[in-house]
């Protein structure tokens, strides 16, 4: 495993996501500007893109923990959890991340933050009550590996950018559907261009959720395999994470705090029972059975 290569790859992926996001907003702004015959929307959407990129980069950890309903874990109340996180931070050679807890009996966890010095590890209370220490250590080691490989920067920014893109596209769709967009030209050519603009706008608005899923899918499944292998390296005990993943696979509870924008941040898909067959084509997690088999083959 070339960890430095993975870090460089993830930094490039972050830049690529920013470019895609900015380009999509520019196109949306152009379509709205053309439809309203006022090109002021291009710089407005560009300004929104720049502000949102800065906010999502520097405040991503706060945003994700807030929308997930996560609370800061007190050291006295969650002493074992803090000890495990500190042990794995030392093993990884990283600063100890802030520790959060989601009050939910489902077994799951995620990491977030733009870099190791601004990282967060969050687990559900289900992890603390339904996993033994070796299993919990495996889960924390997996999330610590995401931090070390800078996976969390890409995954977190993708979640936030997907959310704002969907919101803007939904706004655009409503403008077209409810007649806010009207042609200011009486010529056939002007009306023809207006029809094209409306068609493009509708296509963008309808396809944006699909684009969002593809962006999430760009967070390669191999990152999960790499984090699993890295966790085994940190703990020197692959069975801890393997048995934890086995417990997660048998857990039928849906994590209520999760949503489609943040689902890919978790160690395993938290939206159990809420996925159609077509949606499985865009999974960001490898099959959990395959992950378990690879760990037990180590």
Condensed to tens digits (0 to 9), the pLDDT of residues 118-174 reads: 999 999 999 999 999 999 999 999 999 999 888 777 766 666 666 666 666 666 667
The whole-number pLDDT of residue 179 equals 57
Residue 143 annotated in active site: yes
d(CA 81, CA 144): 13
64 φψ region: left (φ > 0), alpha (ψ -120 to 50), beta (else): alpha
99 has a pLDDT exceeding 80 = yes
d(CA 249, CA 153): 26
72 has a pLDDT exceeding 70 = yes
pLDDT tens digits for 123-134? 999 999 999 999
Q: Could you say which of 86, 87, 143, 189 is catalytic?
A: 143
The whole-number pLDDT of residue 199 equals 72
- Quickly state the pLDDT bin for 97 (edges 50, 70, 90): very high
Residue 60 has phi, psi (to 5 degrees) of -60, -40
- Residue where the block lists tokens 């800078």: 150
Using DSSP, state whether 106 is helix, strand or coil.
coil
pLDDT tens digits for 6-15? 667 766 776 7
pTM of the entire structure?
Answer: 0.73
d(CA 139, CA 18): 30
The whole-number pLDDT of residue 188 equals 57
List the beta bridge partners of residue 71.
101
45 has a pLDDT exceeding 60 = yes
Contact 90, 145 (CB under 8 A): no
| Position with higher pLDDT, 185 vs 11 | 11
The whole-number pLDDT of residue 277 equals 45
195 has a pLDDT exceeding 80 = no
Average pLDDT, the chain: 79
The whole-number pLDDT of residue 245 equals 96
The whole-number pLDDT of residue 8 equals 72
d(CA 272, CA 251): 9
Lowest average pLDDT, out of 24-33, 63-72, 88-97, goes to 24-33
Structure tokens at 136: 């919990």
Which residues, at least 6 apart from 270, have a Cβ–Cβ distance to it below 8 Å? 106, 108, 254, 255, 258, 263
The whole-number pLDDT of residue 298 equals 82
d(CA 181, CA 33): 10
pLDDT tens digits for 207-249? 766 766 676 666 666 778 888 988 998 999 999 999 999 999 9
267 has a pLDDT exceeding 80 = yes
């Amino acid at each position: 495993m070339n960890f430095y290569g993975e870090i460089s790859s993830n930094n490039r992926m972050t830049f690529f996501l920013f470019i895609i996001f900015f380009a999509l907003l520019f196109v949306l702004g152009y379509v709205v500007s053309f439809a309203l015959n006022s090109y002021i929307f291009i710089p407005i959407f560009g300004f929104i893109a720049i502000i949102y990129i800065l906010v999502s980069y520097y405040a991503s950890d706060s945003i994700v923990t807030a929308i997930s309903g996560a609370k800061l874990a007190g050291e006295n109340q969650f002493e074992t959890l803090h000890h495990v996180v500190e042990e794995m931070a030392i093993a990884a050679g990283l600063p100890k991340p802030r520790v959060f807890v989601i009050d939910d009996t489902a077994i799951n966890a995620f990491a977030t933050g733009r870099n190791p010095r601004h990282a967060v590890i969050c687990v559900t209370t289900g992890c603390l009550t339904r996993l033994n220490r070796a299993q919990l250590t495996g889960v924390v080691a997996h999330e610590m590996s995401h931090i070390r490989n800078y996976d969390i920067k890409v995954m977190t920014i993708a979640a936030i950018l997907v959310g704002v893109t969907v919101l803007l596209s939904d706004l655009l769709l409503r403008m077209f559907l409810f007649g806010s967009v009207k042609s200011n030209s009486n010529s056939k050519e002007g009306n023809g261009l207006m029809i094209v603009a409306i068609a493009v706008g509708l296509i963008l608005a309808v396809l944006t959720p699909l684009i969002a899923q593809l962006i999430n899918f760009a967070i390669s499944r191999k990152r999960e395999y790499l984090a699993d292998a890295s966790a085994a390296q940190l703990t020197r005990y692959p069975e801890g994470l393997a048995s934890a993943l086995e417990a997660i696979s048998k857990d039928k509870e849906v994590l209520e705090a999760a949503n489609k924008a943040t689902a890919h941040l978790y160690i395993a898909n938290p939206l159990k029972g809420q996925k159609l067959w077509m949606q499985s084509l865009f999974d960001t997690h490898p099959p959990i059975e395959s992950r378990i088999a690879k760990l037990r083959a180590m």
